[in-house]
Structure formats: C-alpha cells, structure tokens
Structure 1
C-alpha cells in the first residue's frame, strides 16, 4: 500500500515538474528571457567498437571561472546558478566523429545520450578520443547557430594493467558528507581552487595511473552521488590539482519519480560501477572510497557479483568509529578473497600498492612529499602554495 502510494505520488510530482518546466520555457521564450545557450559535454568512456557520449544543453548563466581570491558571495552566486539551471528540451544536436555525422535530440531535462560506432579502427595508443558537438537547432528565442564544443571519450588501451574506480566526496576532497551543515559549508562556500584535495591524493593517483609499465595509461573513472549540476566544479577541481583525468559519472537531481524517492547513493554507484566492469570484461580494477557513507557495502556487492575482477579496495578512514567498524567487518568477511583496507592516509595506501606490485616503490616517496606540500597548503598554515601545475601527461588527455 505504502509502495503504491509512493509510486503514485512520484508520478504526480514527475508530471507536475515536467509541466512546470514546459510552461517556464514558453514564458521565457515569449518575453525573451532566455540567456545564450551552451552545450555541456561530459567526459565519458567507450571501447574500440562503441563510444558513449552524454551531455546537456542549458542556458548559459555566466558561471565564472574559479579564482583563489573569489569572495564568499561570488562562490554562493555561482553555486546558485549551477542549481537554478534552465535546460533546453528537444534541441537538435549534431555529433561529428571520424568525418561521420550523428544526430540526437535532448530529452525534457536537456540531456542527450548517444552511442557511436567508429567507422574505422581506433588507434591503440590514443586514450582520449575527441569529437565535435554542435547545437543545430533549439526552439528558444536566444538560439543562434554555430554553438559548438568538444567532447572527450576515454577508451582504455589494450596494454592497460588495471583500471581505478574512485569516489570523490571525502575520498579525494573534504566534503563532510556525514554532516549536512559542514557539507553545505564545504560545497557552497568554496570553489574549484579553494577546495583542496586530501594530502597526497594527486601523487598517489598519478602513481596508480603510471602503474608498473611506465606508460601512464591505467584509466580512471570517478563515480559520485553529486548531481550533474556540479560537473564543471568537479571537472576543474581534478584538473587544477593534477589528478588524473577520467569520466565523471554523476547523478541526476530533480523532482523526478526515480530520482526524488529512489535512485539512492548506493544504487546509483553500484549501477555505474557495474556498467564499467561489464564494458571492460578483460580489465581488473582497484576501488577507492571512504568510510563516511556506503562505499564499503557497495564495493562488497561489486566484489560478490564480479568475482576475481577487483584487485583490492582502499577505504579512507573519516575517523568515525561506527563507520570504521562497518569497513573492518566487511574486510573480515572478504578475507581471503579481496583485501579491503581501511587506511588513514594516501601514504599508507601507497605503501600497500607498492608492496603488492601495483606501483613502483619509488612512488611512495613522491606521495609523502606531495602529502607534506598539500598539508602546508591547508587553511591555517603559515605558507600557502599555488596548486601544482598540470603535468604534460594529464594535459594531453583532459577534456
């Protein structure tokens, strides 16, 4: 009974939300209130036989690039603009790849999704594959032809040693997801430059990307429950802090039936990780998360469903005893199958990765050095250093 009521209410909310969005689009059109349009093409992934692309068409709200000296007001205004998005439904898109044209339309939330089959074999050494995305037509008063952007799709090379799937919040960057007040402060009051990564993360992730073959071609995938509205901030955060580029797999956020009531943190992450493992059946993975939310239980389910596919799991300890106990219990249950390690910091994870042959032992010192630099950058320290420059290897592949 309760389930039926929940589903009925969800459908009603979905219908009302859809009608409201359609009404507002007509009002903005009639009074010329639409701002110039933009295409947001998300970093995605594929195989030598098929490339998957997702993006969105929105009104350009003028979100400004992050700066170290941005005021609190500027950060709050930018965050408001991210969430107060005006999506463009039924927009006609043209994708160009290998001189082939593909057409797709946006849905009622402004998203477009397409799977492309390459006309010619992909070059085995190319990790990222760029394609042109053009907005051909939109029934919007501010539409002007010529709006284009580049999309980048990752295809792991055949000689990649393993892949890495990582959470973001409280794994790479402090979010305080277990405390809604602190989480709001961290999220809304900072930007891509003032949010700092956990000490040593960039060096540790680069060491995993390098692996033991020295080619720096182990692919990264970032799975987060953050909404797609946060894409530009997270994209810039990774690039600014020299963290390996990878597809960002976020979650839709709205009053839709399966997003308002269902599609919780656990099911979203599990589904995305499952899709990655199914896409690359011959590639094994390292999983990285934190003890703050449900990462350990999610990863346990992944390990059980895909036996032999997970090399090891690193869970950053957020220093909450009850959460740590969940991780240690799961680690004990999986003992003899997959190592699940509750680690205090990246240096401890790097030591284990080197001891098990995932990275070079020389990388441990680099992680420790980066950790010391990052700690000196943290608020309240005597010295503040600029973010590390984006390395040549990373700059080549970022989209």
Structure 2
C-alpha cells in the first residue's frame, strides 16, 4: 500500500478562516472516536500481557500469481493454547462457537510481521487494527501453496495462498451473507445476533449454492473462487469453518475492519466491495469474472456499476433472490439494474439449482452434468480440534 504524502507545513497565518465549522467539528469528533478505540485496545493489550498472553498471527487465505502473492492475516494477543498454526483451537470448536469469542482477542497495531514465501523472507507492518494486507514479490508455482508468518517471536503460522496460473481466464467472486449463508445481516439486531451470539453450527447454508460453485469449478478447475463480504476480519475463521463444513469451494475471504477510521465513524461496506472488485480487475487483467450475490443489499448495484466500467471483465452476474420474509428483514430488495448493462448476461433465482439451470442456458455450465465433485481443501487449512485443558 502506498504511503501517504505528508502535507506541506503550514502555520495558522497560512490558513484562511473557514465557515465550515460543522465539518471541522465532525472531523474532530471522528478523530476522538479513533483515539478512544485505540486507548480501549491498548487497555485490553496491557491486560492480556498481565495474563501471560503472547502475540499470535491469525492466518487467513491469500491469493496471487506466479510472480507475487497477497498475504492476509491479523496479529492479536492470545494465550499460547488458544491457537495452533494461527487458528483458534479449543473444545468450544467441537461444541459450538459463540460469535463473541471472535472479538475477545485484542489486536496488536502496527506489528512487524515476517512473511516467508517462495523461499524469500519479507518484513511488513500490520495496520492500526492488527490486520496485515501485503503484497510481496515471490516466484511460486500455480495452485495451492503455503506461506509462513511470524511476529515478535510468535510461533510460526502457516497460511494457504492460491496462485492463479497465467493462462486462467475465468474467476468467481461470491458474496457471503444471504448468498452462501443465510444471515439476514443487513438488519442491525440480527446482524449482532449472528455475529456475537449465534452458535456457528446453527448458521444455514443457502440451498444448492455449493453444488453450483463446484460445477463451475468442474468446468474451469484452475479458476479462483474469492468470497467478498462486508463482514469483519474477526469472523474470518468462523466463515472458513462454515464453508468447509458445508462443502463450499475453498478460497480467500476479502473482509474488512469494523470501527471508526480517520475520516468517518463507520467503514463503508459498499465502498469496500467496490474497491476490492477494482483491485481484482487490476490484479488479473485477463480474467473475466462471474459475480455472485443477492438482491437484499447492494450487490446488483455494485456489480452493474463494475460491469459498466469493466464490460470486458464480466462473464455473467448471478443474483440469488431472497424469500419475501428474508427481503423484509433485509430492508427490502435492491432495484433491478439489468437494463443498464447491455451485453452482460444476468441470472436471477431463489437458490443454486435454479441459478444453475440459467447458467446452463447461457452455456456456462454443462447441462448434461448436474452433479459436482467437491474439491479437497489444502492440508494446512484443515482445522484440527483439541480438547481444552
């Protein structure tokens, strides 16, 4: 990520009086919000140190090409027995994980992290939330590869990265909430319930979506599958376990951080998705994407906007229609923007089976082969479970 250019030095005399006092007050308030958040995290870190907790690198799945890799992780304070290989372990994983456990480990801001990829070692910095999102230049073979991460003497953490072959021309981007898992996320109360309270084993997969995704991969085995969500990095491992347990294809999760920023109270989920899609278009200039989402948030609007700006990078847009009750809880349905993207095919359907039939009609799926063979997840992503002491 490019560093910000420092602003030129100014004095009070250089700055003319501004009538925008309300805007200034808002910026000051938002700065106070980030300051308070940082102090809260600092208090939690000191408490964690007193309890003997150590820096731990939580490993997330990354992606790349044969010449570079994007590494994603998060550095938190945790007891030694809480994580193995960067993944949370305890008997509660067997018995059911309540979502609030994902938010109890305080982040380590600006932690120095060493990344070993392709036989080379790189040093990068986490952001103020402890999140590492770094691109390093490394020569790696196509397919699933492993990267090692370590921070401040922590135990090494191994994470999977998918290296896309230079000849791949098709990829899949899928939303998560209400697309592959039924969460009713847009409604604030249910969002909090699903994130902090609900047993992760009680989350409901969307019928037919896993089979549809695997059928896509059967025809394009080397294609990347990337899950794009407005969810927090805190729930990345919970979502990974959900995807594995419900036989979804393995792939990177592109999530975001909750809380205030330097210029706003809350991060924009819509902006996050737009930014990540544009980045994928730059990362893989020769890939055409199947964009999969639902009509309960902004997915149709976001995908249509992307298709208008990059018509040569969209193979089809696939929208799962919420049920009437789900649409009510989601705050209504998004507008249908199909007429605004001439030349880009759209599919609308209530589940994976219906959407698959429409993809067959477009020639994207093989109509003579309705079954799919789930792909094996990489070995380092298998989550071992040990009993707590």
TM-score scaled by length of structure 1? 0.79
- Residue deviations 1:90-133, cap 9 Å, x none? 53322222322212233432223332112x4x33xx32221111
- Residue 238 (structure 2) pairs with residue 233 (structure 1): yes
Instruction: In structure 1, list runs of 5 or more residues that go unmatched.
Output: 138-144, 368-389
**C-alpha deviation, 1:233, in angstroms:** 0.3
Residue of structure 2 equivalent to 1:394: 377
| Structure 1 equivalent of residue 69 of structure 2 | 51
Cα RMSD (Å): 2.7
What is the aligned partner in structure 2 of residue 141 from structure 1? Answer: none
SS in 2 for 1:12: helix
- Which one is further off, 277-286 or 89-98? 89-98
Counterpart Cα distance in 2 of 1:20 and 1:88: 12
* 1:171 correspondence with 2:179: yes
Instruction: Tell me, in whole angstroms, the C-alpha distance in 2 between the residues paired with 1:59 and 1:391.
Output: 35
Cα distance in structure 1, aligned partners of 2:109 and 2:191: 32
- Relative to structure 1, the CA distance from residue 58 to residue 66 in structure 2 (aligned partners, 3 Å threshold; closer, same or farther) is same
Structure 1 residues 131-210: aligned runs within 5 Å: 131-135=147-151, 137=152, 145=153, 147-210=155-218
Instruction: Tell me the residue number matched to 1:86.
Output: 106
Q: TM (normalized to structure 2)?
A: 0.81
Whole-angstrom CA distance in 1 between matches of 2:214 and 2:172: 11
- 2:132 aligned to which of 84, 94, 112: 112
Aligned to 2:308: 304
Q: Which residue of 2 aligns with 1:252?
A: 257
Distance 1:206 1:392, change over 3 A: closer
Q: Which whole-Å CA distance do the structure 1 matches of 2:363 and 2:77 have between them?
A: 48
Aligned equivalents of 2:278, 2:91: Cα separation in 1: 34
User: What secondary structure, in the 3-state scheme, does the structure 1 residue paired with 2:235 have?
Assistant: helix
Superposed CA offset, 1:277-335 (max 9, x none) = 1110100001000111111111111111112211111111113479886443x11333x
SS in 2 for 1:244: coil
Q: Secondary structure at the residue paired with 2:211?
A: helix
CA distance in 1 between counterparts of 2:52 and 2:27 reads 34
Residue 288 (structure 2) aligns with: 284
What's the CA shift string for 1:204-233, capped at 9, x where partnerless? 11011122x5xx211111110000010110
**Structure 1 residues 247, 259: CA separation in 2 closer, same or farther (over 3 Å shift)?**
farther
- Residue 67 (structure 2) pairs with residue 60 (structure 1): no
> Where do 5+ consecutive residues of structure 2 fail to align?
1-19, 83-87, 383-389
Match of 2:297 among 293, 296, 315: 293
Shift of 1:24: 4.3
Contact in 1 for aligned 2:45/2:77 (Cα 8 Å): no
Residues 362 and 314 (structure 1), Cα distance of their counterparts in 2 relative to 1, 3 Å cut: same
Task: Tell me what 1:370 maps to.
Answer: none
Q: Judging changes above 3 Å, is the alpha-carbon distance between structure 1 residues 23 and 182 closer, same or farther for their aligned structure 2 residues?
A: closer
